Structure 1
Amino acid sequence: MKLLHLDASPLGQHSVSRELTTAIVNQLKQEHPSAAVTYRDLTAHPLPHWTLVVDAESEAAKQNQTVLEEFLAADAIVVGAPMYNFSVPSQLKAWIDRVAVAGKTFQYTENGPKGLMSGKRVIIASSRGGVYSSGPAAGMDFQETYLRTVLGFLGITDIQFIRAEGVNMSADHKVQAIASARDTISTLASKAA
């Protein structure tokens, strides 16, 4: 099993999504001890915003190719995706712009676009300051809907969200939200195969 682990939070040791992605990867490695893990910290080593790269020998082109190859090689992808302003951090969007490549991860056909990445599994550790999965703020959740849409566009249908919601509501709520997310993570092993 080849596993790609991505973190996009700039909060370092204070990041809930980083804590959860580490727990997810550890859980998957228990089930698959020989798993090869590639780690990419999108904040410590940010990708610039996507621009047209004309020179295939340039550093930008080489970096884009490396990011794409990591994605193509992965059987499973673990993504740390904190909600920022109702969506994903720009660091994560810059990564998505490198892996959503016509002719590589999707193609246009006479019947419309077709994703080429079926068979991959994506587990997203979603951290949110408030509660957006239900209730009055549900209509403001462009994070989960965006990620499901773009990954689905690439042909990925095996997508699981592990949410820690309301982490900024109170210290007690944060502890409970992380504990609930960790409980969900503990059930991943049976689904990892």
Structure 2
Amino acid sequence: MSILLLTASPRPGSYSTQIAVELTERLKAANPATALVHRDLAANPLPHMDSNFAVGIRKPVSDLNEAEAAIIRLSDELVDELSTAETLVIGTAFINLTILSSLKSWIDYIVRAGKTFKYTAGGPEGMLKGKKAYIVLASGGTYSEGPVAALDHATPYLWALLALIGITDVELIRIEGVSRGPDAATNAITHARAQIARIAA
């Protein structure tokens, strides 16, 4: 087995990183031989997409200039990490109604026609089927229900992107309401830990 862990929050002591790491450790403990790749997108951010990538992915390899070749190699490395993993764990904060830009950059490099999805007569078809994904999403407010639930653009976006590349077995772990004081944050963490204990069991 193999796990790809992505953490994206730049906040020290980030709840999303904390719970994503704990979940990964529980999954790995259940099968100690599991290989683990941890890509910290906050500590080592990926460059935002530029013309080298946008142009390079449409060129034959033999026609790439040095800058284009370098960014395509990075994208290929990211795709290989994801393709190899059987389990994907994503830890991200909820910011401005969606995900962090560091995670969005990773998505831009791994969603590639002919690599992670393909076009068919019936529409796009994911090429990374059979994987399990866990999303750990931390938010200051409560977006799972109530008057602002419709403002959660992170969850449907991640679900749609994962489905596009063929990953449809996805479980969400919310850590929400953490900005409402220490008790609310503690309760959110306790609830998340109970959920990952059930997953690990």
Which of 74, 86, 111 lines up with 1:63 in the alignment? 74
Residue deviations 1:123-175 (CA, integer Å, cap 9, x gap): 11110100001000100000111000111111111100111100111110000
TM-score by length of 1: 0.94
- The whole-number CA distance in structure 2 between the counterparts of 1:117 and 1:167 is 34
In structure 1, what is the Cα distance between the partners aligned to 2:72 and 2:44? 16
Q: Distance in 1 between matches of 2:163 and 2:75?
A: 21
Aligned to 1:44, what secondary structure does the other structure show? Answer: coil
Partner of 2:142: 131
Match of 2:37 in 1: 38
**Larger-Rg structure:** 2
Which position in structure 2 is the counterpart of 1:183? 194
1-side partners of 2:77 and 2:159: how far apart? 24
Contact 1:87–1:143, Cα closer than 8 Å, also in 2: yes
**How far off is 1:68 after superposition?**
1.1
Secondary structure of the corresponding residue to residue 118 of structure 1 = coil
The alignment's C-alpha RMSD in Å is 1.2
Corresponding residue to 1:160 among 154, 171, 180: 171
Q: Alignment partner for residue 97 of structure 2, among 79, 86, 111? A: 86
Q: Distance in 1 between matches of 2:126 and 2:186?
A: 38
The aligned residue for residue 26 of structure 1 is 25
In the superposition, the TM-score normalised over structure 2's length comes to 0.91
Q: Runs of 4+ in structure 1 displaced over 4 angstroms?
A: none
Residue deviations 1:97-147 (CA, integer Å, cap 9, x gap):
111110111111111111111101111111010000100010000011100
Query: How many angstroms does 1:45 deviate by?
Result: 0.7
What letter is aligned with 1:82? A
Partners of 2:16 and 2:65 in 1: how far apart?
34
**Runs of 5+ consecutive residues of structure 1 not aligned to the other structure:** none
Question: Structure 2 stretches of 5 or more lacking a match?
Answer: 57-63
* 2:160 paired residue among 124, 139, 149: 149
Q: Name the % identity.
A: 38
Distance in 2 (CA, whole Å) between partners of 1:80 and 1:64 is 20
- Once the two structures are TM-superposed, the CA of residue 30 in structure 1 deviates from its matched residue by 1.6
Aligned to 1:5: 5
> How many residue pairs were aligned?
189
Alpha carbons of 1:122 and 1:56: their partners in 2 closer, same or farther (altered >3 Å)?
farther
Give 1:172's aligned residue. Answer: 183
